[in-house]
Structures are given as structure tokens and as C-alpha cells.
A = this chain, B = another copy of it.
Amino acid sequence: MQLSKQDLHESTDKIYDTIVIGGGVGGLSAGIYLQRYLLDTLIIDKGKARSFWMQELHNYLGLPPDTQGRTLLKHGKDHYLSLGGDSLNGYVEEITDKEDFFEVKVKIGRQNSIYQVFRAKYVIAASGIIDNLPFLDDMQNVYEYAGYNLHVCLICDGYEMNNKRVGVFGKNQRSLEVAFSLGWFTPYITLFTQDMFEVSSQFRDRLWEHEYKLVEKPIKKFIGENHQMTGVQMTDGSVIELDAGLISMGSQFHSSYLSGLNLQTQGESLVTDKMCRTSHPRVFAIGDLKLGLNQVVIAASDGAVAATGIWRDIRRKRGVKRRSDIESAVLV
């Protein structure tokens, strides 16, 4: 059930089998599998998963290619709740390992916040990442186009940029390297430094050789209408026309609550085994937090895998159901 701030004592009194941190694609898929394994599950979601911002999921098998990310999330949450799983809107601040279980400290409510501690034997970190966006004075101008034709993922949306005039927005020279992969889809590429960094002369030579343009002035705003970006206006008033954009400015990992557990990472990504288990045997990581491709269908698959790993662990410890368990329960 959906838990409310006012009535949490049943949930704080017990020890869940698993707390899933993050109610995005990976977390919901894990929750569906966990509940179907008869494991007592709580999903804690801060809201607005990365997929929430996706206007069209072009590549998720079984859904029409114009399905919005938020539609998938809505269906997944309804499915999870229909299986009796618990769900809480909140922000996980810290996890502490108490050997037999974890304590998960949650801030609930943006205003008049309260803090509560929930407990679980296993934790699935499914809180994902969020893309850094160009930082303009008017961020609403960026949100107007991000997720529409101002893309953040080449794998997801390269196809949409086929033979288009595409602007690539980087945060350093290295981040602009994506242009050479984007070059598979289109030769009409303009790179924007946003006046935030310098590029080397070797890099300039490569751009020249590829016939890619480089714009090093600060951006004033994106222009366009109806969520379709048609170009960029620079602070000097000049305009560069574009058909689409690709933001390549890195991302924030929503994983600060894990810091006390000293999990193995590579860069910021969590290292996991083939069952999505981290270097801590009772902490699993799925979706964009872990090493690998950041794709909706992969996160959903990770959820199934991690849930199965946890079920196998718990099943081996707890053993089978006995007739007497059920029959005594009926008598009560």
C-alpha cells in the first residue's frame, strides 16, 4: 500500500525483507518480482526518476514507441501495489548496517519534514542518476526542450538525430568526444563549449577533419516552440539553427546514502556481479547506478535479476513452508 506520513508505525515496527531505494523502472521491476516471491517489500521513492522525463520510449519492447516514460512508471507502480507491496514517498539520507538488518533513515515531506527509520534484511539501490543540463539563467528554458528533441542519450535517441543538424553540449573536451559516435548518425554536428572550457589544437584538427563546427561562446537560450528546439541564441545575439541537441554533461549519481557502506565502485558506478550484487552481500545495485549501459529495458531486467538473487538467499535460509504454518495461521 501507499504509506502516508501520518501512519507509519506498522512499517517502522517490522523488518522488511527488502527495501528498494528508488521507484524508477529498475526499482518497480524489482518490487514486482519481490512481491511475487512473497517477500515483504518497501519501495522508497523521491519521485521523478530519470525515465519520468522521457517523452517517448522508442525502444522498449511491448510498448508503442510514443509511450511516455511516466506512463511506464505509472503502470509499473500500479502493478507493484496490486501485489501488496508498500510504497513511500521520501528521500533516503543514510543506510547503516546492523549486521542482521539495515537501518534506512528517510526524510519524509519537503515541508514540515519528519525523519523515520525503516529496517530491512536486504537493500536494492535503484536510485539512479540524473543528467546535468546546461546551466542557463532561465532553467525553465532548458526544461522546455530536454527530453523532447534536446536529448541526453545517444543510444536511446541517435536514431532520432539521423542526418539532422545536431548541437552537442559538453562540459569539457572529453565529454565532447561523443560527437564522433554521434557521427554514425549524422555529419551535421556543431559542438558547444558554452565558454566553460578550452579544447586542444589536436581536438580542433579532428573537428576540422570531420567538418564539425565548434562554437565557444556562452549560450543565452534555446529557441523553438512546442517543445521542439530549433536553435541556440548566443549571448552576443547570434543564432545557430539546429534540428536537435545532445547534452553530454555527465550526471549526478543519487547514491550518497550508500557512502557508509564502502561499496566497490569504478568511477562513480557501483561494481556488481551477474546477480547485481555489490561488494556487500546484502546490498544489490540495479539500473543506472551500476556499471553498464543505461537503458530502460536493462534496468527492468536488473530488477528481475536482483530480486531473484535475494529470493534465493532468503529461501535457502528460511526453508520451505510447512502445512502446520498455514493451518495454524487459519486457526488464529
Interface residues of A (CB under 8 A from B): 25, 28-29, 32-33, 36-38, 58-65, 67, 72, 75-76, 79, 82, 155, 158-159, 162-163, 180-181, 183-188, 210-211, 274, 292-293, 295, 297-298, 300-305, 308, 311, 315, 318-323, 325-326
CB-based contact B322/A187 at 8 Å: yes
CB-based contact B75/A62 at 8 Å: yes
Partner of A183, one of B67, B184, B293, B321: B321
Q: For the complex, give the distance between the alpha carbons of A159 and B60 in Å.
A: 25
Q: For the complex, give the distance between the alpha carbons of A210 and B325 in Å.
A: 13
CB-based contact A211/B323 at 8 Å: yes
CB-based contact B58/A76 at 8 Å: no
CB-based contact A59/B75 at 8 Å: no
Instruction: Tell me how far the C-beta of A188 lies from the nearest C-beta in chain B, rounded to whole angstroms.
Output: 7
CB-based contact B37/A59 at 8 Å: no
Most buried by B among A58, A79, A211: A79
CB-based contact B187/A321 at 8 Å: yes
CB-based contact A75/B79 at 8 Å: no
Instruction: Tell me how far the C-beta of A239 lies from the nearest C-beta in chain B, rounded to whole angstroms.
Output: 22
CB-based contact B298/A305 at 8 Å: yes
Partner of A61, one of B38, B76, B155, B292: B76
Q: A298-B304, A300-B300 are in contact. List 20 more A-B contacts (CB 8 A).
A: A28-B61, A36-B158, A36-B159, A59-B304, A61-B76, A61-B300, A61-B303, A62-B62, A64-B75, A64-B79, A65-B79, A180-B320, A183-B320, A187-B322, A187-B326, A210-B320, A297-B303, A298-B305, A300-B301, A301-B302
Partner of A315, one of B62, B82, B184, B297: B184
Nearest B residue to A302 via CB reads: B301
Q: Which residues of B contact A155 (CB under 8 A)?
A: 308
Q: For the complex, give the distance between the alpha carbons of A181 and B79 in Å.
A: 25
Listed by A's residue number, 18 A-B pairs whose Cβ atoms lie within 8 Å are: A37-B159, A38-B159, A38-B185, A61-B303, A62-B62, A62-B75, A62-B76, A62-B300, A63-B63, A64-B79, A155-B308, A163-B321, A184-B318, A184-B320, A187-B326, A295-B304, A297-B301, A298-B305
Q: Which residues of B contact A162 (CB under 8 A)?
A: 38
Partner of A185, one of B25, B158, B318, B321: B321
CB-based contact B274/A292 at 8 Å: yes
Q: Which residues of B contact A82 (CB under 8 A)?
A: 65
Q: Which residues of B contact A311 (CB under 8 A)?
A: 184
Nearest B residue to A36 via CB reads: B159
Instruction: Tell me how far the C-beta of A146 lies from the nearest C-beta in chain B, rounded to whole angstroms.
Output: 20
Q: Which residues of B contact A38 (CB under 8 A)?
A: 159, 162, 184-185
